[in-house]
C-alpha cells in the first residue's frame, strides 16, 4: 500500500508518521508532503530517510490513501483536488459536517466508511474521546442529554502554542512581563474558557463542534452542551461529562459496560491517585475513564472523567485506524 501525509512536519503529521512506523501496516511507499518551507528536508521512516515534497507540485495519484494533517485552510483547497485521485482522510474540521462525508471513530461507527466518496473526516479531538465512552452506554440505556466541560491541552493549538506555554512559564517564574501571542490571555498558571472563535449565540466553534459532531456520529436526537477550556497542560485533553439517560440504570452495569468499551480502560479507585490525569496518558493510545459515579441530583444521570492523548487518539491514531479499516477492504 502506498500512503501519503500532507502536513508531515507539523505536530499531527509527525505523530502520524510515528504511529504508522510502529503499526503492522504494510507500507510499500510513504510520501511526505508539506509547504515550500519544508521542501527538501528529510524525515526518517522505518530506517529510511524520506525527502519532503512540496504540496504545490505533488501528484496525488502516487498514493492510494492520503492523510491530511494541515488545517482547514489547506484542506479547503487541496482535499477536493486530492480526492479525484486518492482516498483522503482529513484531520481538519472543514468537511466534518457535510452530509456526504463520513465522520468516523472506528470503534464507534466504522460502518459509515461504506458510504465514503473518497473523503473521510476525522472528528474533533475532544469529540473522539467522549464518544468512545458514550457509544456503549447509548447502546444499552439510550442517552438523552450530555453536559461536558473540557480541559484541553495547548498541543491542540499547535507547536507554537506549546512553545509559548514554556516561554510564558519561564517569564512568570522570573517575574517578567508576559505578552500573549497565540492565546487571548496568559495561559501559564491560568485557564482560558475560549477555544476557537465565538458564534453569535455565545458558544465557541469548538463547543459547537462537540455538539454537532456527537449528534452526527451517535444520534441526532441527543442533546449536547459543552464548555471548552484551554489549560496550561502540554498534552492530554480531559473531560468532565454528565450523562442523562432515557432509562433508569444500574451503576455496576455501567462500570461493566465501560470496562468492555473498545479503546477504553477504566481506572476508578476511590482513593488518593485512583484516577487518571493528562500526564498519565501522554504517549498512550488508550482513552481512560475515571470518577464513575451517580449524579445524586438525577436518578437517570451519571458523571464521568475521561482523559486521552489529543495528538494520538484525538488525531493521528484515529486517522491511522480509519486507514486500517479501509485497507482491509481494498
Query: Catalytic amino acids?
Result: 125, 237
Kindly list the distances between the CA atom of residue 210 and the CA atoms of 148, 188, 200, 203, in Å, as whole numbers in the listed order. Answer: 9, 25, 17, 11
> For residues 118 and 89, is the Cβ–Cβ distance under 8 A?
no
Helix (H) or strand (E) holding 306: strand 301-308
> For residues 246 and 152, is the Cβ–Cβ distance under 8 A?
no
Rounded to whole angstroms, how far apart are CA atoms 321 and 312? 11
* DSSP secondary structure string for all residues of 35-104: -GGGTT-EEEETTEEEEPEEGGG--GGG-SEEEE-S-HHHHHHHHHHHTTTSEEEE-SSTTTT-TTS-B-
Give me 223's grid cell: 442533546
Amino acid at each position: 500500500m502506498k500512503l501519503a501525509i500532507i502536513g508531515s512536519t507539523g505536530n499531527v503529521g509527525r505523530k502520524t508518521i510515528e504511529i504508522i512506523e510502529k503499526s503492522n501496516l504494510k507500507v510499500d511507499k510513504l510520501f511526505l508532503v508539506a509547504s515550500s518551507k519544508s521542501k527538501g528536508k528529510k524525515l526518517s521512516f522505518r530506517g529510511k530517510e524520506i525527502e519532503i515534497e512540496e504540496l504545490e507540485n505533488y501528484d496525488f495519484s502516487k498514493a492510494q490513501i492520503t492523510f491530511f494533517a494541515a488545517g482547514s485552510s489547506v484542506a479547503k483547497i487541496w482535499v477536493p483536488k486530492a480526492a479525484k485521485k486518492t482516498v483522503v482522510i482529513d484531520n481538519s474540521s472543514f468537511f466534518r459536517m457535510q452530509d456526504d462525508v463520513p465522520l468516523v471513530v472506528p470503534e464507534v461507527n466504522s460502518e459509515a466508511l461504506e458510504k465514503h466518496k473518497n473523503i473521510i473526516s476525522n472528528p474533533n479531538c475532544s469529540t473522539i474521546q467522549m464518544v468512545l465512552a458514550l457509544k456503549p452506554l447509548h447502546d444499552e440505556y439510550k442517552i438523552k442529554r450530555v453536559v461536558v466541560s473540557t480541559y484541553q491541552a495547548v498541543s491542540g493549538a499547535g507547536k507554537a502554542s506549546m512553545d509559548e506555554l514554556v516561554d510564558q512559564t519561564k517569564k512568570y517564574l522570573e517575574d517578567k512581563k508576559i505578552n500573549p501571542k497565540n492565546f487571548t490571555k496568559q495561559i501559564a498558571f491560568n485557564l482560558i474558557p475560549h477555544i476557537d472563535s465565538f458564534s453569535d449565540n455565545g458558544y465557541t466553534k469548538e463547543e459547537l463542534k462537540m455538539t454537532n459532531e456527537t449528534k452526527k456520529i451517535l444520534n441526532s436526537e441527543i442533546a449536547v452542551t459543552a464548555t471548552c477550556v484551554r489549560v496550561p497542560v502540554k498534552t492530554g485533553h480531559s473531560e468532565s461529562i454528565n450523562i442523562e439517560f432515557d432509562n433508569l440504570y444500574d451503576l455496576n452495569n455501567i462500570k461493566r459496560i465501560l470496562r468492555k468499551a473498545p479503546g477504553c480502560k477504566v481506572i476508578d479507585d476511590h482513593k488518593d491517585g485512583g484516577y487518571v490525569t493528562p500526564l498519565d496518558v501522554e504517549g498512550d493510545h488508550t482513552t481512560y475513564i475515571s470518577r464513575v459515579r451517580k449524579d445524586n441530583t438525577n436518578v437517570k444521570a451519571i458523571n464521568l472523567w475521561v482523559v486521552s492523548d489529543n495528538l494520538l487518539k484525538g488525531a493521528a491514531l484515529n486517522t491511522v485506524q480509519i486507514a486500517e479499516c479501509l485497507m482491509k477492504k481494498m
